[in-house]
Amino acid sequence: MTQILVIDDEASYREMLKHALEPTQWQVHTADNGVHGLAMARSIKPDLILTDVIMPDISGYEVTRQLRRDPDFARTPILVLTAQAGLEDKLQSFEAGADDHLTKPFEPAELIARLSAQLRRLEASRLAAPTPETREVRLLAVHSLRGGTGSSSLAVNLAVGLASLWKSDTVLLDLNMVAGQVALMLNASLKRTWADLANLEPGELDPDLLYSIIYRHESGLSFIAAPTFPSEAETLKDEILGIALRLLRRRYDYILADLPHDFSPIALQALDAAEVILLVASPEMASLRSAMAAIDTYKKLKYPAEKIKFVLNATFPVSGISKDRIETALKIPVLAMIPYTEERFVEAINLGRPLVSSRPQEPVAALLEDLAFHLSKEADKKTRPENPSEAWTRVYQRHARRRK
């Protein structure tokens, strides 16, 4: 049954609204002030919220703003019902994140029509969005607490590899708001970035706004770029990323996040949401100490051990600490070792041409392509594509040679 929450400090209006909504057969809950209304909203998770503006504790505008900061209410229809009928009042309602503004006194028929329209939109959006039970989405987070380990190069090549392997919707998120280089590595000139969402309230972010900042690479990979200047993202609200991830899960099969070198709120949101965390380090002491600190933090965050995959990237030509010693010290197996190939990676970065697409026959490109396959969804790995891509064919042929 449809659940409606009415928040109004006047008992007469609460009763009036309940009476007006009787023909709908909706279940109507009431709260007598803003604080009570927020508590009830989080308790019953209504399908729609109707709130007065002027109340003794917090206003309906503040109720709306607080709810919109909560990802659970990012798409819940909220209507402001008030005696304030001026243009400025309506604008305040919409700026706070309300979906509609209706003035008192009201006509019951118009009230029901307005609420019904909002509920229809909500139902349409629910039907349009595949549910987790019917559609598997895989989010990979690439993380390193130390810069210079090649984590961005790894993220870019894995993302291009996944997009090329499966020809399915894949998006790469550059979440390093201070010095993100994904756009450079994909040879893209920036027009829109995360900074274009910086002044939005969480309730204002919708699919159209989010998709307007997504670029498309020639490989078929989609990506969202970090700002050119760190100051441009200073006002980006942490909740925006959480809502963005939920919206992206409705559209993309694979999501990769290139994270900042820290445990900032943005990094934590992506780490929490990820099915797999790729921890990247170089075989030298400073990098390994950072990796050890990251692993310790993952444990404190209660991430399951199988969620963490460790990648060693040789970023210098001389011999580093051996793989066996590293695995013993960190108590984590190495999933993949990327050999030192500085010239190839530097060339790829300078030209904005990822190795997996520009030099697929290079041994290091083959290794990255195989790693992308290994990290793919189990359903994809177990099923031969109807029209295999060139990338899939290369991986299959390599696997076949190894079995001989």
pLDDT for the residue numbered 128: 55
Tokens of 209: 């706004």
Domains and CATH numbers, the chain: 3-128 (3.40.50.2300), 138-403 (3.40.50.300)
What residues of the chain score a pLDDT lower than 50?
130-133
pLDDT for the residue numbered 156: 97
pLDDT for the residue numbered 105: 80
Are 365 and 355 spatial neighbours (Cβ–Cβ below 8 Å)? yes
Please give the backbone phi and psi of residue 324, each rounded to the nearest 5 degrees, phi first. Answer: -60, -45
pLDDT for the residue numbered 167: 94
Q: Whole-prediction pTM value?
A: 0.68
pLDDT for the residue numbered 125: 67
Instruction: Pick the closest to residue 364 from 342, 333, 381, 393 (CA basis).
Output: 342
pLDDT for the residue numbered 81: 86
Are 144 and 151 spatial neighbours (Cβ–Cβ below 8 Å)? yes
pLDDT in tens, 145-179: 999 999 999 999 999 999 999 999 999 999 999 88
Could you give the CA distance from residue 228 to residue 233 in angstroms, rounded to a whole number? 9
pLDDT for the residue numbered 133: 44
pLDDT in tens, 38-54: 999 999 999 999 999 98
